[in-house]
Amino acid sequence: MSRVEFLLRRLTELERPLLVALDVDGTLAPIVRDPESAEIPTETLSMLAALARAPDLELALITGRDLRSLQRMEQLEGIWRAVEHGGLVLAPGEAPAERILTPEQREALDRFRVWVAEHAPDAFIEYKPQAVALHVRPIAETNPERAERLLEEADALARSLGLHVRHGKALREAEAVPYDKANAVREILRRSGASSVFFVGDDLTDIPAIELASQNGVGVFVQSDERRGAPSEAAVVLDGVDEVAAVLAGLLQHSVA
């Protein structure tokens, strides 16, 4: 029995309604050098749209991206969205409320942003409403030592400024307010009325949600060349976005049968 077949069998056993909660980058969209160039394949978007309409399913995208960045990649209807690692959770059709930082939080983020712009102008810098993310994958391709040094220095600076530090693949993110994808999953479970959850993610930031899903359904880790093997003993492992797409296709077929 293949990994995909094994996972589909487990999914059919989960109590409905089932929350299908999916990370985006590295799970639905292949990892690319420039995060702004990442795309969810057309076939996967079509499957997601169909899953959103399937009976007894709730579909959620849970990502570190901000809302603007996610909306560039998809315009799906009838889905939940949790952006900025759960900093903002939106029900289907819900508009985002304004979130306000204190002057001290804003100043700390501004100082971190200035440092990143000065020390890593060739990196990809992601500006979010409550965070600044430094992506060093472009640098690591030619100078891995400098990339690692930048991550360490960014980590130290963010902590000295009183910011929360998030680690990811070739990433350091400084956050004014810390959030957690597991808490986002809990909120969507509560608000949607789903009885169980199927969560899929590929990075360190996904581990809390994977572990939560493993206790309330199925948690899946998507391995890649950058990170092999499951970070949690409870996680099922898939190999790349193609296997994720295969599982979604099987789940869709079962859900509409």
Other beta carbons less than 10 A from residue 179's beta carbon: 22
Mean per-residue pLDDT, 13-37: 95
Three-state secondary structure call for residue 60: strand
Whether 52 contacts 58, CB under 8 Å? no
Is residue 229 over pLDDT 80? no
Report the first-to-last Cα separation within the chain, whole angstroms. 22
Question: At the top level of CATH, which class does the domain 3-97+179-256 belong to?
Answer: alpha beta
**135-159: per-residue pLDDT in tens?**
999 899 899 999 999 999 999 999 9
Is residue 224 over pLDDT 90? no
Residue 255, pLDDT score:
84
Q: Comparing 103-112, 198-207, 225-234, which segment has the lowest mean pLDDT?
A: 225-234
Q: Where in the chain is the domain with CATH 3.30.70.1020?
A: 103-175
pTM, 2 dp: 0.91
Banded model confidence at residue 225, pLDDT cuts 50, 70, 90: confident
Q: Which tokens is 197 given?
A: 């959850």
Q: Where in the chain is the domain with CATH 3.40.50.1000?
A: 3-97+179-256
Residue 192, pLDDT score:
98
DSSP 98: P
Q: What is the DSSP string of 19-35?
A: EEEE--BTTTB---SSG
Other beta carbons less than 10 A from residue 128's beta carbon: 22
Q: Which CATH number fits domain 103-175: 3.30.450.40, 3.30.2290.10, 3.30.70.1020, 1.10.10.10?
A: 3.30.70.1020
**34-86: per-residue pLDDT in tens?**
888 999 999 999 999 999 999 999 999 999 999 999 999 999 999 999 999 99
